[in-house]
Amino acid sequence: MAAETPTATWPSVLRTKELQHKIRTAKVLCVGAGGIGCELLKTLVCSGFRTIEVIDLDTIETSNLNRQFLFRKQHVGHSKANTAAQVIKRICPAASITAYHANIKESRFDVDFFRSFDLVLNGLDNLEARRHVNRLCLAAERPLVESGTAGYLGQVSVHLKGRTECFECQPKAAPKTYPICTLRNTPDKPIHTIVWSKDLLFNRLFGRPEAISDLDEQAQREEGQQQQAAEANGAAEGEEGGAAAAATAAVAEDPSFYLRRDGEDSLDYASRIFERVYATDIERLCGVKELWEKRAPPKPLRLGELLPEAELTTVRSALAGAKEAAGAGSKVPSASRALGLNNASQKWTLSQNASVLLLATALYHELRKDEASGVGSASFDKDDDLAVDFVTAASNLRSICYGIPEQSLFDAKGMAGNIIHAIATTNAIISGLIVTEAIKLLAGCVESLRNTFLNEFPVSKRQLVVVRMEPPNKKCMVCGKTQLTLRINTETTTLASLLSGVIKKRLAVNTPNLLAGGFLYEEGEGLEEDEVEAYAAMLTKTLAQLPGGGLRHGTILTVQDQSQHFGVELILVHTDDLKEEEAPEGFVLEGSLPEPAAPPQEAPEGQGAAPVQAPAAAATAGRAKEAVKETDDGVLVLDDDDEEEAPRQAATKSRKRGLDEGEAEDGSEPDAKRAKGGAPAAAVAAAGDDDGVIMIDDD
Ligand SMILES: Nc1ncnc2c1ncn2[C@@H]1O[C@H](COP(=O)(O)OP(=O)(O)OP(=O)(O)O)[C@@H](O)[C@H]1O
Ligand SMILES: [Zn+2]
């Protein structure tokens, strides 16, 4: 990143040739080439960036085409990263775009890789990958511009090691989950039956055996907790626990019941499952009287009554037609379409749901048998029509049993896939903001960096709410302590020498706990005899041989010492050519060494405790409001004199935030201002090529 120049003021610095040069020569990493990524790549080259590397693990789906505008119908099935790079190259032949069709979490994208960039820009869609990139940016000391959109809402934040909060400084909401006992026994909302179909029934019939045993274990834990509650206070909660256990016992069955038997006709199999799930299991559940003292019991469904022979024949001929189409290499219609149900917004009747369920189940067995993601290893994918048909029908039938409203295919797909319909304009605005912050970083205008929220509705006439950044949260488990890079030979170094040379000698740790993925090593008091023995047996193993996949290149090893209230993360870099002069101890430890131990009254760091909310936020809430002033045109601006910055809550909850003075004067969003400043001005040659691609001509 460019050194901070005290004279650089935003936005006047935009006009300087020096900044234009920096933009042209900066090397940028874009992670994700989806909704935000496509817009971002375009905005980057339109703003003058010329050296970009882009990573995405996915291929293009038809459903991406409405907003991921770099992709066309002929690209469906191709790599997003490669296609995006090719198309951007056509738009801007002067740009150097390197594409990786890969997961950012692969070990080749290590600290050195991140360090080779000036800026890292995220256009991801999941927390896990975002956290991974955050950690690597911190380790490599590279600025990260993070982003996200959900429908009309969007957000851009800047993360600069040591200056601002890192992405993990504030706890992130975990995805919503539902108690398994509710899903299994007492659903009362459409989402309950949808999650049951997708996570329980789908996995039971088509998924990996482990997926269902994980859920069984979760259910057992829940029942155990409810039993404990019963023992503790004898309350109604406890009765529920007992009822849940009784319900589980009532419908428990050897998992092999759900497998198709040798020689069993696929529709007979589907019918057998139907009878079991919607008749037998429901009847048995009704028999657990404790469950229905305060609620109405479900009603069983019998296939014979729902689907007279004529309708079963329709299902049979649809199945035969699909098999024939598949045999001839033609596209197989989805189960619902094969039955003539073409309107995705129209709810199906009871018998239509039953027909779709039978056909979808049979089609899985007839056509997906040998596929890698077929029967036995499938996982629910919202872009897989057959999976969506199955889940819609299965959940609707269960909803009918329980008197819950049914859903159309379109709505069920949205709920099952957690789909918040993406809006291209939101992605475009957010990408413009990402590039604006990226340019400020290059210009060294650190004081002007902002986190920005895009609102669904204007707040005080403003769609964009700009918030100055908080300093790092001292208690953040990631950046609140130092991350170090350890260059070491993971194939020859034993755990014993790691402990003595690195952990105890260099880090002055007394009683280490080491954690990484599936690996755990502990020392200290309170260990059982068998634990001590097991840990001692690990000492002579090399790092790569350790349990849980070994400590290898790219492993992030958490080192904790509870007695010292100390924790640190080591990023392992496997090296087999360390010279004695550079590494007399057999390893190289890079980065600043950790702070002294925290005072005893503070919460222990790095022990898996959730990071706490930055205390400054709540304390400044009142003052932040006072700092908001209204200008003549009714625009809310922040008074820059009041350095107490408004907290995130003010932006997200009360939404009483405006732009600060520097940014508010023309009432435009920063993208427009950049155009006005004229800085990243690559001349756009409006000559379209054959496909109407407008090329950026650097001359
Ligand atoms: N670990 C990862 N490594 C590389 N790319 C990733 C990783 N995780 C997510 N991505 C990519 O980030 C992009 C996020 O884009 P977006 O949110 O538009 O998702 P999408 O899958 O294209 O859209 P939708 O989920 O709405 O179908 C996706 O293209 C996805 O493949
Ligand atoms: Zn942090």
> Which ligand number lies closest to the CA of residue 606?
2
State the pLDDT at residue 425.
Answer: 96
Average pLDDT over residues 640-656: 34
| Residue range 180-416 in CATH 1.10.10.520 | yes
Of 250-264, 302-316, 595-609, which has the strongest mean pLDDT?
302-316
State the pLDDT at residue 655.
Answer: 28
Relative to the CA of 132, which ligand 1 atom is closest?
A: 1
The binding site for ATP consists of 32-37, 56, 64-67, 80, 125-130
Distance 411 CA to ligand 1 centre (A): 22
Q: Known catalytic residues?
A: 181
The reported pTM is 0.62
Residue 694 binned pLDDT confidence (cut-offs 50, 70, 90): low
Distance 336 CA to ligand 1 centre (A): 28
Q: Are 349 and 369 in contact (CB under 8 A)?
A: no
Q: Phi/psi class of residue 352: alpha, beta or left (left: φ > 0; alpha: ψ in -120 to 50)?
A: alpha
Q: In the chain, pLDDT over 70 holds for what percent of residues?
A: 75
Better-scored residue on pLDDT, 669 or 383: 383
State the pLDDT at residue 92.
Answer: 96
Does the interface ipTM go beyond 0.90? Answer: yes
Relative to the CA of 419, which ligand 1 atom is closest?
A: 26
Chain region(s) in the chain for CATH 3.10.290.20: 483-590
Relative to the CA of 67, which ligand 1 atom is closest?
A: 18
**Whole-number average pLDDT of the chain:** 80
In this predicted structure, the answer to whether residue 181 has a pLDDT above a threshold of 80 is: yes
Q: Tell which residue, 183, 296, 204, has the closest CA to residue 258.
A: 204
Distance 70 CA to ligand 2 centre (A): 34
Phi, psi at 566, each rounded to 5°? -125, 145
Q: Are 655 and 661 in contact (CB under 8 A)?
A: no
What is the amino acid identity at position 39?
A: E
Q: Could you tell me which residues come within 8 angstroms of residue 259 by beta carbon, excluding any fewer than 6 positions away?
A: none
Q: Give the separation between CA 59 and CA 49, rounded to whole angstroms.
A: 25
In this predicted structure, the answer to whether residue 19 has a pLDDT above a threshold of 90 is: yes
CATH no. of 12-173+422-454: 3.40.50.720
**Ligand 1 atom 17: the closest Cα is on which residue?**
125
Distance 166 CA to ligand 2 centre (A): 4
Q: Give the separation between CA 629 and CA 641, rounded to whole angstroms.
A: 11
Of 493-502, 599-608, 677-686, which has the strongest mean pLDDT?
493-502
Q: Give the separation between CA 647 and CA 613, rounded to whole angstroms.
A: 11
Q: Is the dihedral of CA 568, 574, 580, 581 positive or negative?
A: negative
Distance 39 CA to ligand 1 centre (A): 13
Here the contacts of 12-16 (C-beta below 8 Å, separation 24 or greater) are 12/677, 13/443, 13/445, 13/679, 14/439, 14/443, 14/674, 14/677, 14/678, 14/679, 14/680, 15/677, 15/678, 15/679, 16/679
State the pLDDT at residue 511.
Answer: 79
- Cα–Cα separations (whole angstroms), residue 541 to 287, 522, 524, 527, 558: 56, 15, 20, 21, 19
**Ligand 1 atom 16: the closest Cα is on which residue?**
34
Q: Tell which residue, 668, 663, 626, has the closest CA to residue 645.
A: 626
Phi, psi at 194, each rounded to 5°? -70, -45
**Ligand 1 atom 3: the closest Cα is on which residue?**
103
Token pair listed for 519: 């690996």
**Ligand 1 atom 28: the closest Cα is on which residue?**
34
> Which ligand number lies closest to the CA of residue 67?
1
Distance 257 CA to ligand 2 centre (A): 49
**Ligand 1 atom 20: the closest Cα is on which residue?**
34
Q: Are strands 694-696 and 51-56 parallel, antiparallel or unpaired?
A: unpaired
Distance 502 CA to ligand 1 centre (A): 38
> Which ligand number lies closest to the CA of residue 160?
2
Q: Tell which residue, 306, 403, 310, 398, has the closest CA to residue 352.
A: 306
Q: Which residues line ligand 1 (CB under 6 A)?
A: 32-35, 37, 55-58, 63-64, 80, 103-105, 124-126, 129, 422
Residue 86: is it exposed, middle or buried by C-beta count within 10 angstroms (0-12/13-18/19+)? middle
> Which ligand number lies closest to the CA of residue 79?
1
DSSP-assigned beta bridge partners for residue 467: 451
Better-scored residue on pLDDT, 365 or 697: 365
Lowest mean pLDDT: which of 165-174, 375-384, 570-579?
165-174
Better-scored residue on pLDDT, 251 or 382: 382
> Which ligand number lies closest to the CA of residue 162?
2
| Residue range 483-590 in CATH 1.20.120.530 | no
How many C-beta atoms lie closer than 10 Å to residue 310's C-beta?
7
- Compute CA 328 distance to the chain's CA centroid, rounded to the nearest angstrom: 39
Distance 477 CA to ligand 2 centre (A): 7
Q: In the chain, pLDDT over 90 holds for what percent of residues?
A: 51
Q: Give the separation between CA 115 and CA 118, rounded to whole angstroms.
A: 8
State the pLDDT at residue 218.
Answer: 54
Task: Choose which residue among 36, 57, 122 to substitute to test ligand 1 binding: the one with the highest number of ligand atoms within 8 A of its C-beta.
Answer: 57
Q: Are 40 and 435 in contact (CB under 8 A)?
A: yes
How many C-beta atoms lie closer than 10 Å to residue 141's C-beta?
15
Average pLDDT over residues 315-338: 89
Q: Are 44 and 53 in contact (CB under 8 A)?
A: no
Looking at residue 650, the DSSP 8-state letter turns out to be I
In this predicted structure, the answer to whether residue 606 has a pLDDT above a threshold of 80 is: no
Better-scored residue on pLDDT, 695 or 336: 336
Task: Choose which residue among 57, 125, 149 to substitute to test ligand 1 binding: the one with the highest number of ligand atoms within 8 A of its C-beta.
Answer: 125
Q: Give the separation between CA 92 and CA 386, rounded to whole angstroms.
A: 40
**Ligand 1 atom 22: the closest Cα is on which residue?**
34
Lowest mean pLDDT: which of 118-127, 396-405, 523-532, 545-554?
523-532
The binding site for Zn(2+) consists of 166, 169, 476, 479
Q: Give the separation between CA 292 and CA 243, rounded to whole angstroms.
A: 10
